[in-house]
Amino acid sequence: MMDHKQGEVIICLHPSTNNENVSQRHAYLDNTPTGFVLDRCLSAHMNIWKGSFDYTKVNELSLINQLNEDGEIVVAQLNHFLKPRNLLSNDPRLDEQWQWINMGERGLADADIDADEAWSFTTGGVTQLGDTIVVAVLDVGVYDQHEDLRSNIWINHREIPGNNIDDDQNGYVDDYRGWNVLFANDSIDPEIFGGDVEETHGTEILGVIGAVGNNGIGITGINWNVKMMNVLFNSDLNEADMIAAYGYVLDQRKRYNATNGAEGAFVVATNLSYGDEELTPEETPIWCAVYDSLGSQGILNCTATANASIDIDSIRDVPTSCASQYMIAVTATNDSDVRSFAAYGKNDIDIAAPGAQLLTTSIPDYDFVSGTSFASPIVAGAIGLLYGSPCGDLAALARVSPAEAALTARSLILDQVDPIAALEDEISSGGRLNIFNSLNAIFTNCQSCVAPFDVQAGLVDSDPTQIQIAWAQADSVMQVDFNWRAAGDTVWIQMDSVTSPFTLNDLAICQTYEFMLTATCQDGTVSSTPVMDFMTEGCCLPPSAIEITNSTDSSIAISFEGSAGSAGYFAIIGAISDSITWDTSVINQGDSTRVLEGLQSCTEYYLLLQTICQGAGGISSSDTIQVRTLGCGACLDSVYCALPVNAVGDEWIEAVSIHNLNIESGFDNGYGDYTGNSTQLKQGNGYTLNIQPGYAADTLEEYYFAWIDYNQNGEFDDEGEQVFASDTAISTGLETVIRIPEDAPLGLTRMRVMMLFDPIEDVVSGCTTAIDLGEAEDFCVEIIIDSLLCPKPVGLDTLDYQGTSTLVVWEAVDSAIAYVVRHRKVGDEEWEEVVDTMNSFNLMEMENCETYEVQVQTVCGRDTSGYTESLFVAAACNTAVEDVATGLEVEIYPNPFSLQLSLEIQTEERQDLNISLLQLDGKQIAIKQVEINAGEHIISIDELSYLPPGMYLVSLQNAKGRLVKKVFKQ
């Protein structure tokens, strides 16, 4: 433990001694300049002086010995620190905060955490290594402009507020004041409830952790100085948002660790004062696992248990029943050290802290609060205070091993409680927090000499035979020695008095080396880093991180990470068959991508990459992977929506059959991908779908659903794609007939079946339903033509538009012997029909400004199809608008448009109005038929974002004529 001020001594001289002569005589120690000078007279009467010297160059104990051997010096000593008996802030309402200091005016004397004695060690803020200490609070909003909180609120100074740019590139846009997981911004203001009442919970928690101390205002937190990070996770209090909130905190500390403090935040603790005693860790495995992830980066997490006198060991509670060693579950005691309203549990609850009638910050000023919600942040704040200790051991450990530092802090908190007899059999620590005991334990075991930290090893100028080692060291370190050896050697090579950065030369390539750094401090003590290692480059390693970056029906694009010891690479690919023919491509050294071309459509291939080694040569091969070209159809080529799966395993789909596809799948943990299996289904035919359930124990009643992605867009939520949905639950499995539409697009697409136990909402989409009790499975089905059917033509379109004529075309139908084309002017009742064997029709002599409707029917050998949906074609208008469509005044906006058009129509009489949006070739894009009365009307044409930029026409036709206006899509 550092007990003196480095670089300073106190000297008592004989009465007649000249101080300047003393300074001159001790300007050197063993030929090393000391910088020694007597710079302050402490007592002229006693001739006592303070001396200063450069402690980074000379050993202070050696200098003390030399001074004491001087005949004109009575005695020389170090300038020792004094420990104040206790330290109190000047905050006017401190005497109302019994949790810090309880002299017996309220409840039981000393039923406090001895904060005043702890403040004699530290009041928080910054570690001895310069890390700004941060405690994160997950809550539902805070008043961060409170007079007693404002200067202790964490701000992300690397972010420019409100510019909608992720300035610090941490994955969060504009996270200047913290993070709101619901709105993905930094709005952390308190939520507003009925009657304009602000939620005060988060603001009250902040006051406990870090109300500014010694500022002459209000109260003080357990930390006088600390930065409090605020993460708002939604008053709906759902698990997903809470996990996202923890994720933000984790990202900040992980970034801090990875950049040696240049980015992110040094978050040492979190507080969550929410939970649910109706949940168990078995139901929330992801939530509980989050704490281990946080702990691995050095974050210790405090959670409040239930505000009810219940045994959590029996009832269970989340998160306080989670088993993570990086979480501290907190219950509450009052000013007499009595736990009355709060939960307990010998196994699940770790510690008690004050939580009854605590004075803290609120909105608009201060208030008294009670609950485990406020006991937990006292412990979180105490963890922050530990890192502010003048002993730098914990801070140094956090640099080298953040997870170990978090566990050390946990032990310091739980092992140093004030024992409470009533709590001995109720909580695992058996006592109430005492932060003074925890800080005192740090000092008792403090090693004044801190080992080098932030150690890094890297290449010098890309030379694999040179490695540069760099590190940081505390001011008290006088010398650093370097020990190293090749891995497997038993003898260490020692190099004394090295400085950072230090370079090792003439190393073997592709060799692992071990090293450690040993610090010798001014007081003569030493401290070493753990044994660390590095590996030199130059190894001939196989290509790694192989990725398929793009695929077509004839090519596959790959990327990979190469090896420093390569002279180039081979890409070897062969179609999977009984007799594989391999094709080899050479990739130059330095390249890391390649497009493999000339491949067969919808074909599985084996692919491996090889490194061509430098020097003596040789080959280093990757593992063989399987790849596939596109061209198989939507079922295999498209990326289909994934289902949220958290299956319990009580029931599952045992078997599925349709047509000649029969799959016995069994339990698939919620989802089974069987797209390697397919069957052909004909347009217009019906097929029996059979789904059989499987059960772990009792037979249950289930709901069944099925979808086919007819339009082959990778989703299951379009109209007509849900081919079956149960009205009631059944226990016998499903057998039903599904009918394939006659106009279903041809090709390989995907079928998804689902079995659910008592879904909580209507199941419409095959993409969004969560699977917890039940299972879903995917299969491929190929839609093919039934040669006995006569399908409708598809793909009606226009070509060669001339204003008064156009060619109407469609895709040829294989079974067609002819086509019937019928057409008419919009508004006419009678059709004109034409029969032809060609899959086209020339619509001619269209009248000025008229719109025509065209339909086509297939004629087959034994049957005819129905007519297609209408294709509308508008003839050109050569008459002035004002002469044709009298009685209408029309304004169209916005123009240019992007998403929608609005038509403001003024008429003096009732109108039957046809409104069309047309391409310049007359093809109709949208149509609306409306009936309007005299007056002003606004009619919108929506969902136009899909249109390409360019000019379009808006046509308005009534009994008097037609009005056409130009509009532009931007």
Q: What is the DSSP string of 58-112?
A: S-HHHHHHHHHT-TTEEEEEEEE----S------TTGGG-TTT---SSSSSTT-S
Question: At residue 308, does pLDDT exceed 80?
Answer: yes
Tell me the pLDDT tens digit for each residue of 357-406: 999 999 999 999 999 999 999 999 999 999 999 888 899 899 989 999 99
| 686-695: strand order across its sheet | 661-664, 651-658, 686-695, 734-739
| CATH number for the domain harbouring residue 735 | 2.60.40.10
Tell me the pLDDT tens digit for each residue of 206-236: 999 999 999 999 999 999 999 999 999 865 6
Amino acid (1-letter code) at residue 328: I
Do residue 405 and residue 312 come from a single domain?
yes
The domain boundary, picked from 466, 501, 535, lies at 535
295 within 8 A of 325, measured Cβ to Cβ: yes
Question: At residue 332, does pLDDT exceed 60?
Answer: yes
| CATH number for the domain harbouring residue 172 | 3.40.50.200
| CATH number for the domain harbouring residue 26 | 3.30.70.60
Tell me the pLDDT tens digit for each residue of 871-893: 888 787 764 444 445 578 888 88
Specify the pLDDT at position 374.
97
The domain boundary, picked from 851, 874, 897, lies at 874
Specify the pLDDT at position 86.
56
Do residue 807 and residue 948 come from a single domain?
no
C-alpha 94/C-alpha 636 separation (Å) is 69
Is residue 85 domain-resident? no
Do residue 250 and residue 373 come from a single domain?
yes
Give yes or no for a cis peptide into 364 (omega within 30° of 0).
yes
Do residue 344 and residue 429 come from a single domain?
yes
Number of other CB atoms surrounding residue 82 within 10 Å: 6
Coil vs helix vs strand at 448: coil
Specify the pLDDT at position 95.
93
Do residue 302 and residue 320 come from a single domain?
yes
C-alpha 262/C-alpha 955 separation (Å) is 62
C-alpha 386/C-alpha 268 separation (Å) is 10
C-alpha 375/C-alpha 339 separation (Å) is 11
Mean pLDDT of 577-594: 88
Is residue 930 domain-resident? yes
Tell me the pLDDT tens digit for each residue of 945-970: 888 887 788 888 888 878 888 887 87
Tell me the pLDDT tens digit for each residue of 588-619: 988 999 999 999 999 999 999 999 887 666 78
969 within 8 A of 950, measured Cβ to Cβ: yes
Given pLDDT bands bounded at 50, 70 and 90, which one contains residue 287?
Answer: confident
838 within 8 A of 846, measured Cβ to Cβ: no
DSSP 8-class letter at 934: S
Is residue 750 domain-resident? yes
Look at the block and give the residue holding tokens 């090709």.
Answer: 747
Domain that holds residue 22: 4-80
750 versus 914: which is more confidently predicted? Answer: 750
Q: What is the DSSP string of 765-821?
A: -SSS--BSSEEEEEEEEEEE--TTS-PPP---EEES--SS-EEEE-PPPTTEEEEEE
Is residue 760 domain-resident? yes
Specify the pLDDT at position 697.
82
Is residue 86 domain-resident? no
Do residue 98 and residue 76 come from a single domain?
no
Is residue 87 domain-resident? no
Mean pLDDT of 504-526: 88
The structure tokens listed for 182 are 């619901």
Specify the pLDDT at position 878.
62
Coil vs helix vs strand at 296: helix
Tell me the pLDDT tens digit for each residue of 126-181: 998 889 999 999 998 999 999 999 999 999 999 999 999 999 999 999 999 999 98
Do residue 920 and residue 855 come from a single domain?
no
The partner residues of 84 in beta bridges, in order of sequence, read: none
Do residue 37 and residue 173 come from a single domain?
no
The domain boundary, picked from 818, 844, 874, lies at 874
Do residue 780 and residue 727 come from a single domain?
yes
Do residue 300 and residue 167 come from a single domain?
yes
What's the number of domains the chain is made of? 7
Question: At residue 921, does pLDDT exceed 90?
Answer: no
Specify the pLDDT at position 157.
95
User: What does pLDDT average to over the chain?
Assistant: 89
The structure tokens listed for 966 are 């130009």
Predicted model pTM: 0.53
Do residue 758 and residue 866 come from a single domain?
no
360 within 8 A of 273, measured Cβ to Cβ: no
Do residue 885 and residue 865 come from a single domain?
no
